Structure 1
Amino acid sequence: MTKNAGAQGRSKNQQQPSVLDNFKPLILDVAVPLGSYYLFKYGFGMSTFAALAWSSVVPALRTVWGLVKERRTNALAGLILIVNIVSLLLSFVSGDPRLMLAKDSGISSTVAIGILVSVVLGKPMMTAGMKPFLLKGDAEKETAWERLMSGAAAGSAAFVRKERAFSVVWGVALLAECIARIVGAYTIPVDTMVWLGTVFLIGAMAIAFVVGGGLAVEPMEKMLAAEVEAHKAGTPEVAVAA
């Protein structure tokens, strides 16, 4: 009993960040510029370009501060920082407020491409957020996960496909959001696009949650439960339909 409790405790302590934790930098780096843009433009009377420029500096500084404070490398935050700095410099050179808006698509596209590449490399990025949700600190599910991922269980192939599908859904959703943001930046009034860009992001994430949940998370949850029961019974797991 004590041994099981200890294993569960270790599992909880070793949980990786949730999906929301992984995307918190992305959410903040869109929400913060939205509020600061209107503050700079209508509160301080800045020009559209100046307001966009200064609102872009805020998330860059926040990301730097986060990296310094945590004293550890955050790949997603680092990518966002690089994209922000490069696109900000390009925008200053051109002086185009629409380019300043379009630069936000660089964040989504960088994350999206990173996710899709991670799937190709066999290390789906979104698994880090999905796994704790599925395991819920349960040591038996943790062991079942390892068996399914290692190929030792009958349903391993289907399980791995679902794991990769979850990241593919997120990558495609963010890539679509990136394209929509670029089109909007050059076809929709700037003041409208400032808040509409946030709507695009929220919509893309909502779609990814729903589609990813139905396509991958729910089937994987059933596969884990089946593997746990099969292991207890000492019989091979019956593969769940992919």
Structure 2
Amino acid sequence: MTNGPGSRIRPLLPLIIDVAVPVVLYLLLKQVGLDDFWALTVAGLATGVAVTVNTVRRRKMDLIGVLVVLEIVLSIVLLFVTDDPRIVAIKPSFYTALAGVFLGATCFVGRPVIYLTARPLATRGDPEREAAYEKAWRTSAPFRFRQRLMTATFALFLLVESVLRVIVVYRFTAAEIAESFLLSQLPGIVLFAAVLLSFRLQVPALRRIVNEIQESKKDGSLSPAGKEG
């Protein structure tokens, strides 16, 4: 699993999109006079627009695309049923929790999300590396365990973040929504950093397993698939 500038930046993109963009837009919209409800709504939808454009360009509806559609639908519903800005501020918790449940389910059904999303970064389109990566899943119990562990860790992060966001927002009154909205981003930032660190600790062992399988195929020897290395 090689490292490069792109692989270092890409894991930070969700954080930039989901945290930085809404916060910056919210602050700018407040400066031009929008009230809290509309500032939060527009800031949240901006994230949805960015992801929707990316989904259309790829012509593929993945989990992120589904969550964005749900976010937009939820935003429209909220426009008609409430004017409490705190409800809008905790809106991301709904689809974050849904994503957490989905990721957790993939640990038991099919292949875990982290295995699938890490594959392009791990193989770089190299056919030999692709074959070794696939064989690692089929033959190496440690490889499967670590992939499931990483996915479960990320699922737990999403679930915990969704709960903490609600707690933080409702520690404040509706009149203090600006403070609660900004503070509600902090648990996600801290937890995301912790998840990235845990992933970084797992990568060397995963890379070693794939390397050994790839080398064994070149040498024509038996694969050390069950070894940690």
Task: Settle same-fold status: TM greater than 0.5.
Answer: yes
**Which of residues 23, 39, 56 is equivalent to 2:28?**
39
1:88/1:100 contact within 8 Å kept:
no
Tell me how far 1:190 sits from its aligned partner.
1.9
Q: Deviations over 1:21-58 (max 9, x none)?
A: 5884674243322112111212x222222322232332
Instruction: Name the % identity.
Output: 24
1:83/1:107 contact within 8 Å kept:
yes
Tell me how far 1:186 sits from its aligned partner.
0.5
1:84-163 equivalent positions in 2, closer than 5 A: 84-90=72-78, 92-151=80-139, 156-163=140-147
Cα 1:117–1:87 shift into 2, 3 Å: farther
Q: Does 1:219 align with 2:205?
A: yes
1:231 is aligned to 217
1:58-77 equivalent positions in 2, closer than 5 A: 58-77=46-65
2:3 is aligned to none
Give 5+ residue unaligned stretches, structure 1: 1-16
1:199 is aligned to 186
1:12 is aligned to none
Cα distance in 2, alignment partners of residues 56 and 89 from structure 1: 14
**Which of residues 78, 86, 92 is equivalent to 2:66?**
78
Give 5+ residue unaligned stretches, structure 2: 1-5
CA RMSD of aligned residues (A): 2.8
**Which of residues 148, 164, 169 is equivalent to 1:164?**
148
SS in 1 for 2:90: helix
Cα 1:27–1:119 shift into 2, 3 Å: farther
SS in 2 for 1:120: coil
SS in 2 for 1:236: coil
Tell me how far 1:204 sits from its aligned partner.
2.2
Tell me how far 1:82 sits from its aligned partner.
1.0
Q: Deviations over 1:190-225 (max 9, x none)?
A: 2123223333322222211111232x3221111112
SS in 2 for 1:187: coil
Cα 1:186–1:84 shift into 2, 3 Å: farther
Cα distance in 2, alignment partners of residues 51 and 202 from structure 1: 21
The one-letter amino acid paired with 2:187 is F
Tell me how far 1:20 sits from its aligned partner.
6.4
Moved more, 64-73 or 221-230: 64-73
Tell me how far 1:102 sits from its aligned partner.
0.8
Q: TM-score w.r.t. structure 2 length?
A: 0.81
1:91/1:100 contact within 8 Å kept:
no
Paired positions, count: 220
2:103/2:152 contact within 8 Å kept:
yes
